[in-house]
Structure 1
């Protein structure tokens, strides 16, 4: 009876839900508490369930479940809540994935760090690209494999038991005491992981972190299909979900990426920017193990870059004995080229393998290095301590802020240095309509790109059918959208400089813009006051929030407290230290305002509200 009541309620929610639940990729930070991710949303949903209230007006007011939709969203949370209710377990114990491989890797990762044995029991076949040898060799995860007819055939095991099964229904599992984790594979929808028993609940935060960094949650559209199956207690209906135009869309997307980037070898498209970065990192490690046996691998990463990049690099290093992360200071008083030269010289002396991850322009300071000097530093022949020629670096370029700039094509600045460029697809490529990320390589990287593709497939992190469809529609207009958004941003930056000259604005010069560096994001270091450094910092941090709150209150239809960029309309505001730099070391965080503008917004209204903010600020500074 309770199960029917719950299913009927979910049915009503699906009929009445806000359209945002299917279409947004980033949600509002002003109604989001990261410490209560998922739980706050579900607690309030449960109250509505108890009141049998599924009205659109109340659903709209539910707090943000996760700040980025790749981490989870209303529909994935409801799916997990529904399954958990069915089994009378906590909703935290159910975690949905777009990938069918990564949930297995998540458990293996925790056990590798615990030095705990793992048994993977499965019916039928393992996930399509599950390469046991590669997982043991490259990821350094150990496990036993055991094929069984059903879960009941699994005997006690001195360690962790994972049971993998292919299911055509959602919520079709009989929990057994000899299984610690159930992973139900649901064809192209993804998978659902069930944590079985209180003794295994300590794994939940680690599994969630893997979903946060190395893959994505089951997508909104796939969660929607799964929920329809769940409420009807019937087999999943793939009609309308399987895109018969996939091959055509994929071909169009790959062609567009080659044209946009000026490259010729096959681009790769992942479920998110971080999914792409993970494949890049693991592919490069695989190549190093094959071609430079026994040598240490160094990932060189700016300490204040996007928190996901920073965190993921360190997470990979934690699992691989011969991988280390080396800091690369790039912003403010630090020159990226000088830092690269210094670090590469040191790594060459150690006869190690250098992989550099860097953003151009940098985030959030929006700085571009001297590109000729960068090329020279990357191309320079260096020697090991023994006088031998050192291994040349691979430059991994995060080009999210300016995906239109040609770095890699024939005759371009980085065409003669082993370089791979990648970007988050939730930004300009899709205009904020999906999370898919991509990477391209220059002609010197074909073997590396083959390795990256292998690990993208192994992790089952390729873009979904709908993501390809969205990119196919959005990519043709991308470069024009970049131009239009830059025009608004330049005009707004000039305006702010005129009305508040004491603020420090980080944005590209007009000279750089003439060379196609036309980002539509800038950062703002507001003036402050106080008797000491602590008071000045506290005042500025409060001022940051005051500005953002004024913008989103006065222009609610356009201004949003959000971390995204490259959106189709409106203006997004954030504080990098509390959003994109979430896992960055405290001393490297930037407590400044970052704004990203689109080509479709009421710029005059934004100027008007900013002028009002400046009036209040001047009064306060004088007072």
Structure 2
């Protein structure tokens, strides 16, 4: 009876849900409490359920669930809540993934660090993408595999003699049904199209939950809104079928667009998110280095104040492999990327280590572009080890999410002769903010490495979904024009601020760089401050940041938004990197400045007027 009530309520919710539940990729910061993200959403959702209130107005007022859809979103939370209800467990024990293999890897990662033995039981077939040997050799995870003929076999004591932790994987059409057994620590149901749902079984395993969620946040994504909706519809209508997009056709359009945009004719790869593709890049590079440079230390060179996801993921990868280390690369402000990189590469050469560089051009959030000719010279310089032998050449991994239209890799371009891989987050310009899918492309020097990256992208089952590919197929062909139009708005707004608030420091590209093709639509703003001490000045500046953002959003609520993203189709987006994109960055490396992102479609004159109100108020 309770199950019927729940299913009827979900059916009503799906009929009335806000459009943002399906279409929004970045959270509304105005109704977002990070510490209580999922619990706060579900507590209020449960109240609506208990009062049988499924009205659109009530659903619209629910607080933001999680943050990006990578970690979770309203529909993933509702699906996990429904699975919990059906199986009489708590919602936090249920974690949905777009990937079929990443929940397994999340548990294995935790057990590697805890030095626990893991046994994987599976009924039927393992996910096709699961490559046990590669997972053991490259990821370093330890486990045993055992196929069981039927679920009753899990009661046999001999199945659990040598394992501290046991996983049961079942591939089934009814992804929401679990036959829970106390002998199993983790149940994973996989679905060919939706992804997977993981149940953490028993209180003794609750400490795994934050770590598993962090894998979902950094190395993959939650089950997508579109697939969660399909799974929920199938739950309420068992005969409901998932209508697949024309995947091959859409993929061909996407790959052709990436080739045109990047100027590179080599194979491009499309992932479920920017961090998914970055993870495949990192693991592919490690795999290649383990083969080509056996026993040598692998050094990932990473700016300490770059996007928090990049920073955090790189350090998480290093934590799992004794041969992998992170080297900080100061790039912003008083630090020069080229000089810093030269110093770091010289030291790595002496150590005879394998250098991989991850860098953003332009940088985030200071929007700086290094001297590219000098950068090329540093990257291509021949260096010697301490023994006098030739050092290993670096691979440059270029995050060009801010300016994905700049051609670095094609024949005759600045980095065409260096081992360079470029990638971009798809939730920005590529999709116009409509999905999270990201992509990467290499030049001819990296064709073998790209094969390795593709191997790990598929192993992690982190390729773009049908719906994501459909969105990219529609949006990518118009991306370059949108970038041009958004840049025009941004340049005009930057010039306006410079004229009316000349004491503010604006971080944006110069006219000279714009002529070279660097036309971002995002800038950062250091507001003029006052005070007798450095602490007072910093506190006053931070207060002004919030005042400006609150004013913009309250005066132009239909366009100005609290948001950490950029590249959207409409509106203007405001954030403070230190409290959003740099959430996991070390405190000393954070930027407490305002970052503003403009779109090609917005009321620029209205924004100018409200900004003048702000200037008058200070």
Residue equivalent to 1:576: 577
C-alpha distance in structure 1 between counterparts of 2:611 and 2:65, whole Å: 30
Contact 2:83 2:177 in 1 (8 A): no
Is 1:214 the counterpart of 2:219? The answer is yes
Aligned counterpart in structure 2 of residue 170 of structure 1, from 164, 171, 175: 175
Matched with 1:621 is: none
Deviation, 1:529, is: 1.6
Query: Is 1:18–2:24 an aligned residue pair?
Result: no
- Tell me, in whole angstroms, the C-alpha distance in 2 between the residues paired with 1:261 and 1:383: 33
Q: Provide the residue aligned with 2:5 in structure 1.
A: 5
Aligned position for 2:51? 51
Q: Does 2:408 match 1:407?
A: yes
Query: Equivalent residue of 2:430, what SS?
Result: coil
Give the 5 Å matches for 1:466-481. Answer: 466-481=467-482
2:175·2:196 contact (CA, 8 Å) conserved in 1?
no
- Mapped pair 1:182 → 2:183: no
Q: TM-score under structure 1 normalisation?
A: 0.98
CA contact (8 A) 1:169 1:236 kept: no
CA distance in 2, matches of 1:110, 1:152: 28
Size of the aligned set, in residue pairs, is 613
Which residue does 1:284 correspond to in 2? 285
Q: Which runs of 5+ in 1 are unaligned?
A: 618-623
Report the secondary structure of 1:84's partner residue: helix
Match of 2:398, SS state, is strand
Partner-residue secondary structure (3-state), 1:426: helix
Q: 1:488 maps to what in 2?
A: 489
* Segment drifting more, 539-548 vs 476-485: 539-548
Distance of 1:565 and 1:198 partners within structure 2: 41
> 1:453-492 deviations in whole A, cap 9, x for unaligned?
0000000000001111111111111100000000000000
What CA deviation, in whole Å up to 9, does each residue of 1:410-449 have, x standing for no partner? 1100011100000001111110111100000011000000
**Over residues 122-178 of structure 1, what are the superposed CA-to-partner deviations in whole Å (9 max), with x where a residue is unaligned?**
011111110000000000000000000233312342310000001111322110011
Q: Name the SS of the counterpart of 2:139 in structure 1.
A: coil
Q: Which residue of 1 aligns with 2:149?
A: 149
Match of 1:97 in 2: 97
Matches within 5 A, 1:26-425: 26-154=26-154, 155-156=156-157, 157=160, 158-232=163-237, 234=238, 237-238=241-242, 240=243, 242-243=244-245, 245-425=246-426
How far apart in 2 are the matches of 1:506 and 1:100?
42
Distance 1:152 1:210 in 2: 31
The whole-number CA distance in structure 2 between the counterparts of 1:441 and 1:171 is 39
Q: Distance in 2 between matches of 1:424 and 1:497?
A: 30
Aligned equivalent of 1:522: 523
The separation in 2 between residues aligned to 1:265 and 1:290, in whole angstroms, is: 22
Q: How does 1:538-549 map to 2 (within 5 A)?
A: 538-549=539-550
CA distance in 1, matches of 2:417, 2:173: 50
Whether the aligned pair in 2 keeps the contact of 1:296 and 1:353 (CA below 8 Å) is: yes
Secondary structure at the aligned position of 1:37 is classed as helix
Alpha-carbon RMSD: 0.8
Relative to structure 2, which stretch is displaced further, 308-317 or 547-556?
547-556
Cα deviation code 1:24-73 (max 9, x no counterpart): 11121121011112111111101111111010001111111022122211
- Give the whole-Å Cα distance in 2 for the aligned partners of 1:81 and 1:47: 13
